[in-house]
Structures are given as C-alpha cells and as structure tokens.
C-alpha cells in the first residue's frame, strides 16, 4: 500500500520484520521511514520501538482532532456498520469524515487508522476488534470515542473465553474509553443487553438501545421487502421517525441500520442523509456482495459472505438465502474457526438453519464441518470436502442458471478464492 509521500513504519512482528522491506518502500515512493535498529541514507526517524511510536502517532492524531469519534465493536457486523456510518456522515459533511481502512481493527490497525486521520475531520469512525479479554480495553483508550457501538454478541473466538457471557464482558470493554458524557449504543434484543448497559453506565455513559423489541430506544416499527431488493424500514428514534430503505437484504442488516441511525443522531448528523446512504450502499466484498455469475444465456446469484463466519452470522445469512427467489438454493459453507471445545456442537447446530432455509445442495468445507455433514446426512444433497479448491471445482460442475448460492466461512478457509473463480468469468 505504500505510495508517493508516505511514511513507512518498520514494525517487528512474529513472522517477519518490516525493516526487511525498507528498500521496497522507498522504491514505491515513501518519503521517509520510522525505524528502530538502523540508520539509513534516506530520510528516517530512529526510535527505540516502532510499535510504541505508531501508538504515539495515533494518540497525537486523536488529541488534535476536535470532531466526534465513534467506536464500533461486536461479534458480527463491525465493518459493514463502520462503512455505512462513514458514508452517512460523509454525505452530511463531504470530505470531513474519516474511518478505519478495511478491517484494520487490531493493535496495529487501530493506531494506524488514527495516525492517518486528517486534523480537520469532523467525524471519525473506528472499528475495534478483539479475540482475547483486555484487548479492547487498550484500544478504546487510544480511540477515546464519544459514541461506542456494540453490534451483536455471538460465540466468535469462544476458544479463548469460558462462555458467551465472557465474550459480552470483553466487548463491553469498549465503554472504558468513552469520553465524559459519552453514549453507548447496545442491542436491545440481545440476552446481554442488561450486562452491556450496566457496564456502560458504570463508565458514565448514556445508554441508547436499538432493536425490534417494544422497549428499544431506536426501533424498527415495520420492515418489509423492497420491490427492488433490500428492505423498507420504518424506524422510531428518541427524537425522530424515519422511513428508509436498506439496500442489502436481511434482518441482520436492518438491525445494523438501527445502530447506525442511533449513532448518527448521537453525533449530530443528518438522519435523512443517513437514510439515503443506507439505500445506496451495496454489500461489501466478503460481506454480502451480490454477484451475477454468467452461465451461457442465463445467470446465477452468488452472495459473497466469505470474509468471516460464526454461528450467528451463518444463521442470519442462511435465513436470507431462504427468502431468495431462485430455482435452487445452494450453500457453500466453510469451517468456523476459534470455537475451541464447542466447535463440534456449534457446527452441527447449523443443520436446522440450513434445513429451514430450504437449501437444495450444500458444499461443506474443512475438517470442522464433519459433525454438520453427519447431522445432515440423508436430509439433503451435500458434499463434505477438504478445501476451497475442491469446493470451487464442485460448484463449477453443479451450478445452474437461476441458482442462488451463499458462500460463507472463516477467512482462513479461503472461500474468497472460490468467489473470485466463479465471478471472474463464465463459470
């Protein structure tokens, strides 16, 4: 990603050392480098620890920024919510909104996204992730959000936690960094709503809930399929009512849109602009993008959810697959990682959502999928394969015009390559 005029920061990681790439960085146009173990002929700054220096750059960028900052975390929906918030606030104040790039949400991505923030930003949205307790606590203190969102709680990374409640407590760490008088936006319909709200209030936050339940502060009073796709929503907020369309179909996207509206209202944005942004925002690559696959004179729909997966997100996307008007419904599902001792049970638990969605044919990818394959044996046509390459070949052989295909799995399974192979040309 190095471009003309950039500062290259040579970080030392577990697998390699950024100092090995200094020559390539300068060849690509870097104006200078931040280094820790050598002097250079080119422009550079020598520090004891480049990771600490990156954090310091992030802290400095946050300190000079006088606008409103939003932090987003949750087991699912972080990146989509962050991107939609950016589009909503950029539409309201063009060129004065900033956000994390891609899914830069860890101990490197967060300070890097902060350091890249322009001084005159009026709004900034940062995605904050974790897979161990204590990680969010440190990152949210760098971000210092005025508004903190928890999108949803699910058993993602449960290998590193004793329970789903422990995951909820780890996500609640985002409230520790809230600025005085900050606002916490939490999912009303979650069984952990009370826990999240309690932690938020302990850190001085005003709590705003979003969801479908009657008691939610930001609530969808109606949600119906839109004629051109997506969902038409009528929502009630504490100080407004709004009708709008969510371009990406699915109940999970409706819920995310409510959190987005709550945050836009909290930072003084324009709700009408947010509604327009939601209507125009398609699914992101790996996170709901809808692709047409050409098949002779016809075509099939391929829904790209290949970036990540946990039981909640797979169930939600399968539910939407079941609503697709299609000749057949196919599901290519990759293993869910970091589920620990609960892996077999949670994989097998996907059987009911698959059957309820009316899936006609499933390709299950990875060793972890065996319990699910066993549970579904004899109930629908399926193949259990070792890797994405085999799955790609199978799908190319089986796909037909008018099929709707859901592709979803943990990123490390590599189903993004299957998507590229299918969408890149005639299947």
Is the predicted pLDDT of residue 427 greater than 60, yes or no?
no
β-pairing, 240-246 vs 231-237, is antiparallel
- Determine the average pLDDT of the residues in 162-179: 95
Rounded Cα gap, residues 112 and 61, in angstroms: 10
The yes-or-no verdict on residue 38 having pLDDT over 90 is no
Question: Is the pLDDT confidence value at 426 over 50?
Answer: no
- The confidence score (pLDDT) of residue 102 equals 83
Question: Do residues 87 and 188 lie in contact, with contact meaning Cβ atoms separated by under 8 Å?
Answer: no
Q: CA 285 to CA 240: how far, in whole Å?
A: 32
Name the band, by pLDDT with cuts 50, 70 and 90, for residue 425: low
138, 146, 221 from 62: Cα distances, Å: 15, 12, 38
Q: Which residues of 263-275 are buried (b: 16+ CB within 10 A; e: fewer)?
A: bbbbbebbbebbb
Cβ-Cβ contacts under 8 Å for 418 (sequence gap 6 or more)? 306, 332, 388, 391, 392, 395, 407
Q: What pLDDT, in 10s, does the model give residues 117-143?
A: 999 999 999 999 998 899 999 999 999
**What's the confidence (pLDDT) of residue 159?**
81
Rounded average pLDDT over 51-59? 97
The strand pairing partners of 73, in sequence order, are 150
Mean pLDDT of the 173-184 span: 97
Task: Calculate mean pLDDT across residues 187-209.
Answer: 97
Give the model confidence (pLDDT) of 206-217 as tens digits: 999 999 999 999
Q: What is the pLDDT of residues 387-415, one digit of tens each?
A: 999 999 999 999 999 999 999 999 999 99
- DSSP string for residues in 286-328: TBBEEEEEEETTEEEEEEEETT---HHHHHHHHHHHTTS--SE
Q: Return the percentage of the chain with pLDDT > 90, whole number.
A: 88
Residue 61 pLDDT: 98
Strand-strand pairing, 381-385 and 403-408: unpaired
Q: How far apart are CA 211 and CA 191, in angstroms?
A: 12
- Tokens standing for 220? 């969808």
**Minimum mean pLDDT range among 13-17, 154-158, 281-285, 395-399:** 154-158
What's the whole-number mean pLDDT along residues 296-302? 93
CA distance 49 to 19: 12
State pTM to two decimals.
0.88
* Gap between the Cα atoms of 414 and 73, Å rounded: 24
CB 427 within 8 A of CB 400: no
- Mean confidence (pLDDT) of the chain: 95
Considering only residues 425 and 74, tell me which one the structure prediction assigns the higher pLDDT: 74
Query: Cα–Cα distance between 251 and 231 in angstroms, integer?
Result: 8
Residues in the chain: 427
Residue-wise pLDDT tens digits, 242-267: 999 999 998 999 999 999 999 999 99
If you average pLDDT over residues 65-78, what whole number do you get? 96
pLDDT tens figures, 345-387: 999 999 999 999 999 999 999 999 999 999 999 999 999 999 9
- Mean pLDDT, to the nearest integer, of 30-47? 93
If phi > 0 it is left, if psi is from -120 to 50 it is alpha, else beta; for residue 414 that is: left
Q: Where are the alpha helices (DSSP H) in 109-192?
A: 109-115, 135-143, 164-171
**Cα separation, 10 vs 162, whole angstroms:** 36
- Cβ(171)–Cβ(140) below 8 Å: no
């Amino acid at each position: 990603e190095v471009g003309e005029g950039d500062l290259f920061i040579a970080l030392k990681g577990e697998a390699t050392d950024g100092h090995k790439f200094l020559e390539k960085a300068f060849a690509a146009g870097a104006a200078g480098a931040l280094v820790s173990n050598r002097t250079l002929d080119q422009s550079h700054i020598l520090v004891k620890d480049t990771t600490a220096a990156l954090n310091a750059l992030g802290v400095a960028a946050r300190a000079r920024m006088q606008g409103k900052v939003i932090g987003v975390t949750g087991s699912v929906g972080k990146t989509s919510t962050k991107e939609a918030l950016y589009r909503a606030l950029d539409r309201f104040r063009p060129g004065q909104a900033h956000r994390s790039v891609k899914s830069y949400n860890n101990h490197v991505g967060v300070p890097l996204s902060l350091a890249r923030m322009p001084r005159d930003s009026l709004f900034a949205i940062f995605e904050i992730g974790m897979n161990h307790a204590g990680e969010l606590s440190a990152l949210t203190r760098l971000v210092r959000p005025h508004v903190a969102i928890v999108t949803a709680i699910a058993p993602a990374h449960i290998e590193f936690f004793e329970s789903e409640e422990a995951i909820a407590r780890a996500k609640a760490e985002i409230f520790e960094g809230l600025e005085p008088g900050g606002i916490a936006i939490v999912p009303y319909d979650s069984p952990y709503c009370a826990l999240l709200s309690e932690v938020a209030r302990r850190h001085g936050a005003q709590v705003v809930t979003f969801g479908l339940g009657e008691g939610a502060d930001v609530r969808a009073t109606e949600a119906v399929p839109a004629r051109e796709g997506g969902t038409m929503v009528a929502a009630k907020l504490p100080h407004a009512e709004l009708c709008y369309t969510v371009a990406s179909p699915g109940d999970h996207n409706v819920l995310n849109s409510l959190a987005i509206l709550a945050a836009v209202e909290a930072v003084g944005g324009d709700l009408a602009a947010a509604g327009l942004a939601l209507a125009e925002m398609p699914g992101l690559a790996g996170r709901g993008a809808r692709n047409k696959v050409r098949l002779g004179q016809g075509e099939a729909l391929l829904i790209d959810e290949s970036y990540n997966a946990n039981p909640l997100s797979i169930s939600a996307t399968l539910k939407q697959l079941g609503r697709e008007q299609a000749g057949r419904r196919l599901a290519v599902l990759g293993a869910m990682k970091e589920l620990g001792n609960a892996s077999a049970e949670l994989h097998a638990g996907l059987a009911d959502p698959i059957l309820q969605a009316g899936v006609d044919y499933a390709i299950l990818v990875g060793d972890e999928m065996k319990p699910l394959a066993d549970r579904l044996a004899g109930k629908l046509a399926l193949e259990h394969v070792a890797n994405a390459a085999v799955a790609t070949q199978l799908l190319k052989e089986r796909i037909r015009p008018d099929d709707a295909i859901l592709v979803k799995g943990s990123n490390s399974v590599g189903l993004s390559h299957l998507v590229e192979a299918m969408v890149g040309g005639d299947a």
